[in-house]
């Protein structure tokens, strides 16, 4: 069986790639053939010469588009990705620390996703689903049993690519209507899975650094603060003044508006508030 691993590391996120690859080779689905699809703008990538590494150029879209538009990236490359049997997307800062084998494959369900480690034991009313009824990611109160994290998801290639196409179209519709879902691609992923059967992975497969959870870690979510923090990795210049930081974020958003149509000032302010809570 051929397993496709989807890995996006544009900008400074390429610093995670080498150790991710080494850990996946050691611990992940060791009895199957793995192909790593690395979407990056980096000039140099470790193990690029290996036969199981395929580097695909991907422009650095900036924050939040590097995460929001990931389903567009997969959909755009569906021809090459369709050669695999299963596809699995991993956040750049993930690191395998223990064996992960057949239990991760959704043979019956078709799709799988990772339970959010911060709210894995919280009631439905605590889930941060998209609440804007105008967004295609909106989930009504009567729907949704779990809240999943965008850091790890996958499934049978055909089903995963169908999901990617639908979510890319939904995100385009939101952007046209000047809407960005509260947790970007994660909000849209939760919408898609809210009325479907899927394999749910517990937080062992996305165990944050320095947390204490009642699970044995299999995949770590490395703390981005140990690698310069979110702003540095996202390419946002860090300044001493909080006002300067907010100004830079506003400027960054305005600079990128032309690509995805302009947002109102109200939407910009709401987004900044959400960003600061990430």
Cβ count within 10 A of residue 21: 22
Instruction: Write phi, then psi, for 17 (nearest 5 degrees).
Output: -60, -50
Q: Is the peptide bond before 112 cis (omega within 30 degrees of 0)?
A: no
- Taking alpha carbons only, the member of 7, 3, 2 closest to residue 55 is 7
Q: Rounded CA gap, 12 and 9, in Å?
A: 7
- Taking alpha carbons only, the member of 191, 196, 203, 182 closest to residue 115 is 203
Indicate which residues carry an active-site annotation: 186
* 3-class DSSP state of 30: coil
Q: Rounded CA gap, 105 and 117, in Å?
A: 20
């Amino acid at each position: 069986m051929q397993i496709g691993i989807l890995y996006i590391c544009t900008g400074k996120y390429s610093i995670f790639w080498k150790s991710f690859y080494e850990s996946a080779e050691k611990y992940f689905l060791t009895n199957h053939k793995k192909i790593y699809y690395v979407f990056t703008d980096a000039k140099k990538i470790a193990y690029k010469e290996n036969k199981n590494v395929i580097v695909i150029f991907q422009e650095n879209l900036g924050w939040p588009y590097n995460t929001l538009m990931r389903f567009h990236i997969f959909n755009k490359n569906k021809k090459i990705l369709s050669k695999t049997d299963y596809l699995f997307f991993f956040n750049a800062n993930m690191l395998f620390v223990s064996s992960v084998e057949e239990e991760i494959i959704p043979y019956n369900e078709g799709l799988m996703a990772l339970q959010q480690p911060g709210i894995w034991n919280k009631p439905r009313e605590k889930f941060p689903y998209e609440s804007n009824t105008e967004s295609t990611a909106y989930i009504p109160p009567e729907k949704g049993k779990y809240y999943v994290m965008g850091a790890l998801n996958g499934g049978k290639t055909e089903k995963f690519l169908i999901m990617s196409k639908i979510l890319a179209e939904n995100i385009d519709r939101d952007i046209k209507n000047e809407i960005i879902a509260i947790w970007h691609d994660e909000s849209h992923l939760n919408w898609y899975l809210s009325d479907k059967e899927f394999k749910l992975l517990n937080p062992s497969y996305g165990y944050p650094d320095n947390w204490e959870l009642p699970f044995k870690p299999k995949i770590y979510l490395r703390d981005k603060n140990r690698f310069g923090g979110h702003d540095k990795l996202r390419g946002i210049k860090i300044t001493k003044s909080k006002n300067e930081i907010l100004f830079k974020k506003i400027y960054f958003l305005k600079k990128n508006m032309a690509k995805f149509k302009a947002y109102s000032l109200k939407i910009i302010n709401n987004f900044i508030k959400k960003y600061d809570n990430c």
